[in-house]
Chains A and B, each alone.
Chain A
Amino acid sequence: MRSQSKFVTLGAATGAAVMLFAAAAWACVAGPTLAAEPRSVPAGSSVKVSGISWNGDLPVVVRFNALDGPILGTFQPDPVSDRLDATVTIPAGTAPGNYVLIGTQQSADGKFAIIPSRALVSVEGTGGAPVLGAPLNAGAADRPVGLTESDPVSTGSLVLAGVGVAGVALFIAGAGVYFSTRRRPQPETAPVAK
């Protein structure tokens, strides 16, 4: 019975998952995308850029590393599918590091018509290995783990407290010894025989 229940649960979950992901085809798409391939190349190499959801009526300007950076090319997306497929060349002499290719579309008045889309490209150093510039996704390594608790009582103050109490105790003991010593009757001197 239990295994049957598990089977039903598993089946329902699988079915739900299938339904959920099959439904993707019905979802709407907003905004453009841009991807570069390969993502790691030497300077002066060609890179394929592609993306979807561009405005098929406007050209896509691909710039290098900034919204006002060098134009690597201007391309017309497919007017039916709104898809962009193009090839650009990374400027020769580009220092090794990480850069973004930025796709933009501007309306007739020269203003941006749609939000830009960015794609990462790593320019390799000599020897073919990518030399990364600014670290990608640098985590905040210096963050504390967990919430910080207050500790107004430092170790030093606790030591002081202990020593203080000990001092008071010693003082009391010493005072007791002192007074008991003062009040102790002195042994009488034996009379000297005359």
Chain B
Amino acid sequence: MKKRTVAACVLLAATLAPVQTQVLAQERVQVTAPVQATKFNLSPARTYGVPDFAVDPEDPLHILASAVDLRTQVCGTMQSFDGGQTWEPLESSPSPDNYPLCLMTNSHTIQGKLAFGSDKRLYYALAGWDTQDAANRSVLVGRSEDMGKTWQTTIVRDTRGLTGEKQEPNRPISGFVVDTSGEQDVLYVSWRQQNRLTDPNRKPNIPVMSVSTDGGATFSEPINLVGQKFADPAVRAEALKVVVPPTPSAAPAAAASPGASPGVSPAASPNASAAASPTASASASPVAPNEGAPASPLASPSPSPRPSPSASGPPPPGSPASSPDQQVNFGGSNPSLAVDDKGTAYAAWVTSYQNIKGTTRPAHFITRTSDQGKTTEVFQITPFAKDNVNNFGGLDLVWSPQGGENGTLHLVYEGSRTPEVASEADVFYRRSTDRGQTWSEPMVVNDDDPKQLFFSGLPNLSIAPDGRLDVAWFDTRADPGITSNDVYYAHSSDNGASWSKNVRISDRSIDRRIGVFAQNFDLNGPPGIASTEAYALVAWDDTRMFDSVTQGQDIFMSAVQFEELESGTSSTLKYVLAGVIGLLVVGLLFVLLALLVRRRETAAGVRTV
């Protein structure tokens, strides 16, 4: 009997011994309920633009984000320690006192750009200006050694004091990356350099980049990313070959490029043109060609009339306006930056033109430098074609280590499946595995019905540490007819070979009759994305807390979650605790047993006595 009891006890103990059962997380994608990230600001006038993100390299739940109030035009920062579910503002701004304003009046741009460097150093690229600057916009980069609590800011390009045709209304800051492969951080910041030249000397925008090899303490002079590409007559001929001459019956404004128009409707989709200038002086002056031009030949004329060459006679020989086929009439816009693991920097940009009559067709190029901007090489990504519907921006570039020894460059941009329909836009994707020299055929990321002619534009591209590519954009497919748009998302887990089914991120359509996304303000940008292995956090400017009187915007965010986060308490600790509790129970049993035995013995003793 006793042997049987022992055997039963052994069997029971073996059966009930703690078994570590590893529950593998099944791959599933779920979208979290949106959070109002900027609810710390109670001002009824708050008008936030879309943010840029920087994920703490050592803690994927710690995220910093730019928080730019478009109404006060102040660049701020906020941070989250729980993967974007709650946010707190950081008091300090990277804007120095003498350059307090940072708004870049432009569509298709995120106003402040963040990036981590080595040793958790945080960088912030932003514009800088004051009311004294008229149209001038300077370029700044802030450095923070304490996660955004304090900033040291360097002026990358100082435009203060420039007057007349020398003014530089630089905008927007379209690219910012940090190369951490060397001993010191190398910073690359890029923007569209505009000019204030007038006829017959107007020149196109130029995509430029400035480089810091000392961790942001000093920066190089702006480097022209176009280089000598258009010195080649064959390249110019290729561009001029597809220009559609203006129709004789068209209004003067019809000379504008339809390629400048990615918008769908004024409220639901952004205007490709440069947005309202923030100051009266800047507003009154002519905006750069192609951006300031109407969104399409069908749209209303530009608000800044340009003198007609025919009215003042033919342009003087040798001037830019004297002949379209000159290198000086070819430029580019909105360079987006990426850097690979060998320290090679890449800038993708889209062409801009000047002094070319008719409807021009944009193309995308990439500039590569392996020596921090000392020398550059330029390669063509897309042909000069009408399916490139945005001739000044709407593109984003990232690099991933997957795809071979060179890694892969990934590009998203605004294209069109139906380019004959004005303002129709789609999210196009291409990739290169030979450092930008050749590119794949385009893939369309948005999966809506092309016959419905919805707008899918302002794409943003981000890459997670495990190589997953995240794309988010604004889309009108769910607009119930209230002039709204939504945020949509897709990802690729095979280095861009294929893309997932689209996921609606915003939980309700965003009413664009409210706020400054459109409505003639056109202060908009692509959705912000923070990519980690476990989730992609997607942010947008949302008007749900406002009405036609307050006209404000908040930052809202939802996460697309791929993996469950590790619980705060370790499994081992939980099992140890369970074991301790088990021992306590046994100990308690023994105590009770001992008390019972003692009581019986006492009772027996009493009876004996």
Name A residues whose Cβ lies closer than 8 Å to a Cβ of B. Answer: 12-13, 15-17, 19-36, 52-55, 57-58, 67, 82, 98, 100-101, 111-121, 136-140, 143-154, 157-171, 173-175, 178
Contact = CB atoms under 8 A, between A and B. Distances in A.
Interface stretch (B50-58, B113-121, B197-205, B291-299): B291-299
Nearest to B261: A30
Given A33-B267, A140-B507, A147-B85, A17 B23 contact: no
B23 A30 contact: no
A10 B22 CA distance: 58
B13 A31 contact: no
A18 B578 CA distance: 64
Contacts of B45: 17
Given A160-B19, A167-B13, 10 more contacts: A23-B278, A28-B294, A29-B299, A82-B300, A111-B421, A115-B455, A116-B453, A164-B17, A165-B583, A167-B582
A175 B303 CA distance: 96
Nearest to B283: A26
Contacts of B585: 162, 166
B73 A16 contact: yes
Interface string B407-437: 0000000000010111110000000000000
Interface string B546-566: 000000000000110101111
A149 B567 CA distance: 5
A16 B103 CA distance: 10
A67 B480 contact: no
Contact of B561 (A28, A35, A113, A148): A148
B236 interface: no
Interface of B: 2, 5-6, 9-10, 12-13, 15-19, 21-23, 25, 30-33, 45, 70-73, 82-83, 85, 100-101, 103, 105, 131, 249, 261-267, 269-280, 283-284, 292-296, 298-300, 302-304, 418, 420-424, 451-453, 455, 479-483, 504, 507-509, 516, 519-522, 534-535, 558-559, 561, 563-568, 571, 574-575, 577-583, 585-587, 589-590
Given A28-B273, A100-B480, A147 B561 contact: yes
A122 to B, nearest CB: 10
A118 B32 contact: no
Given A31-B423, A113-B422, A151-B567, A165 B579 contact: yes
A54 B296 CA distance: 11
> Helix, strand, loop or mixed for chain A's interface?
mixed
Given A24-B521, A161-B575, A164-B582, A121 B105 contact: no
Contacts of A112: 418, 420-421, 453
A118 B481 contact: yes
13 contacts: A15-B131, A22-B280, A29-B271, A52-B266, A67-B451, A117-B264, A136-B482, A144-B30, A153-B567, A162-B578, A162-B581, A168-B16, A178-B6
Interface centre among B82, B271, B504 (most CB of A within 10 A): B271
B575 A27 contact: no
B295 A161 contact: no
A11 to B, nearest CB: 12
B568 A115 contact: no
Interface centre among A53, A139, A149, A165 (most CB of B within 10 A): A165
Contacts of B261: 30-31
Contacts of A23: 105, 276-280, 283, 521
Nearest to B271: A30
